[in-house]
Amino acid sequence: MTRQEKATVIEDLTSQLAGSSIIYLADISGLDATTTSALRRACFKADIKLSVVKNTLLAKAMEASDKEFGELPETLKGNTSLMFSDTGNAPAKLIKNFRKKSKKPLLKGAFVEEAVYVGDESLETLVNIKSKEEMIGEIIGLLQSPAKNVISGLKSGGGKLAGILKTLSEK
């Protein structure tokens, strides 16, 4: 690879890193062609972009980026695959589900909405992260709950009041 090609790759990686707020680094080394193909298909179905990169080029792209990646550049050893997604927990769920059939991919680290997670032990934490849509739905549900309680209270109270008035009028 010439210097010009490397500079182009670094520039592309830098723009990808800048354009995504959810970035996962995984190790998929040792997977055979069939398993790798299945992983790529699963990523495509989950709307996750998967690409294999050279560690040195990715490290330079991270340095050139405006984002603070913390300890992530230190995880760039061995084979590294980048996973980009719009949903914070989608790559983690994909990795967890894929590991039911295979030992890999291993999570090296993740950058999710300004938070940095390092190591495969963070996988369970990342799986439990709620997406933006899930959080909005939960908040709306919480906001609707008191209003529903007031309305049901008024309805039941009105029924009781009508019953009392009817009983009094009959006497």
Q: What is the pLDDT of residue 49?
A: 92
Q: What is the pLDDT of residue 44?
A: 92
Q: What is the pLDDT of residue 41?
A: 92
Q: Which of 122, 140, 123, 142 is nearest to 132 (CA)?
A: 140
Report, as ranges of residue numbers, the positions in the chain whose pLDDT lies below 70.
153-154, 156-161
* Boundaries of every domain in the chain: 3-129, 130-171
Return d(Cα 92, Cα 111) in angstroms, integer.
12
| 3-129 homologous superfamily | Ribosomal protein L10, N-terminal RNA-binding domain (3.30.70.1730)
Question: Who contacts 48 (Cβ-Cβ below 8 Å, separation ≥6)?
Answer: 83, 84, 85, 90, 91, 94
Return d(Cα 79, Cα 112) in angstroms, integer.
21
Question: Who contacts 18 (Cβ-Cβ below 8 Å, separation ≥6)?
Answer: 65, 66, 67
